Amino acid sequence: MLLGTVFLVGALAYARAPDRHEQVNLAWMAGLLVLSALDAALGLRTLVRLRLRRKFAWVWMATTGAWALLSVVVVAVLLRG
């Protein structure tokens, strides 16, 4: 989860840059958001497998979806402003 947060902070930093609308910066932001969601998914899946067992096996998928959606929304808001 920590590495996912680092990737998210990197995407947010690109979104606040003065040249944020250039194609290469948009590509980096998209890549960092994908890596952030992937790392969050792997971390949450590991936590669920270690702690919650099978009773709440779907929790990591819902939480990862929320993480990815909120990340994209925050970056989109920063790109508009």
pLDDT tens digits, 58-77: 888 999 999 999 999 999 99
Nearest partner of 40 among 52, 29, 48, 30, judged by Cα: 48
pLDDT of residue 15: 93
pLDDT of residue 29: 95
